[in-house]
Amino acid sequence: MSGGHLIGAFLEMMSAERGAAANTIEAYQRDLADYAGFVTGRGETLENCRRDTVEAYLTGLKRQGLAASSSARRLSAIRQFHKFLCADGLRGDDPTRIVASPRSSRALPKVLSVAEVDRLLQTAESEANAAEDDGPVRLYVMLELLYATGLRVSELVALKRGAVMRDTGFITVVGKGRKERIVPLTDRARDAVRNWIERLPPGQMLFPAGGESGHVARQVFARDLKGLAARCGISSARVSPHVLRHAFASHLLSGGADLRVVQTLLGHADIATTQIYTHVLDETLRELVESHHPLADAAE
């Protein structure tokens, strides 16, 4: 059976047995036709090509500048195709079995400097003190809480009044998977929350609103935060609730906090998720060596 017929049989199976959408079938057809052409160019067939041919194909895609995510998608199609050939007895081995999937380098998170966060907090506090309505006060309290705890914005807006412990020194957070964690508050955040609760009418939510959820929407807080950034002379494109979460983690680590502690505070189930911040540790270690190594100034 020719390469084209093999691909056709695979696509027919994907459509009939797995119910693949038409655009998925078209994408697989393009990817597999390109792959088959490469295999043929190396003097092999789809029924006898080797693992190094698959790896050479992926290397070629990288040299062409194809994104790692797009290469990984092509490899997925090739894997499924070869599994189909093996299942139908058209070849006895799978050349993709131990081929590593292309991975894109994970972008470093956007982080505000300590001075920039301080400017946001000072401006928000000044506006809250001068305000006659609750909007600016709520923004200030939410900002203090976010930077003090590193909460996800979904966790922040959904906080209940009962989450604040009796002395307001800690809050109980319900995170992903309904897992609870206890997070300490800074003195500033504690005072802000305590004053906020005193001015709130009776109710269940810490940041109540009139919508279906009963609490302020994430989008409303994000919009208010960007407006605050603009008033502080900070590009609103650089500021979001998640950026403040990144700032919380990065500033803790640069101050000497343990990665495991930050993992717990952020509510990460896997330490690997928290390790995106290790660039902060690398910079801190470099500065530590330059400051304390006896030969650090030898070249000056």
Q: Say whether 245 is catalytic.
A: yes
Q: Say whether 83 is catalytic.
A: no
- Indicate which residue of 138, 215, 226, 245 is catalytic: 245
- Indicate which residue of 97, 176, 179, 286 is catalytic: 176
Cβ proximity of 192 and 148 under 8 Å:
no
- CA quadruple 67, 69, 74, 80: dihedral, nearest 10: 170
Q: Say whether 35 is catalytic.
A: no
Give the containing element (helix H, strand E) for 110: none
Q: Say whether 194 is catalytic.
A: no
Q: Say whether 246 is catalytic.
A: no
- Indicate which residue of 161, 181, 242, 279 is catalytic: 242
Cβ partners under 8 Å of residue 96, min gap 6: 51, 54, 75, 78, 79, 82
256-to-49, 54, 118, 146 alpha-carbon distances in Å: 53, 45, 19, 20
- Indicate which residue of 51, 218, 231, 268 is catalytic: 268
- Indicate which residue of 74, 138, 152, 226 is catalytic: 152
Other C-beta atoms closer than 10 Å to the C-beta of 212 total 7
Q: Say whether 268 is catalytic.
A: yes
Cβ partners under 8 Å of residue 49, min gap 6: 39, 42, 95
The residues that are catalytic are: 152, 176, 242, 245, 268, 277
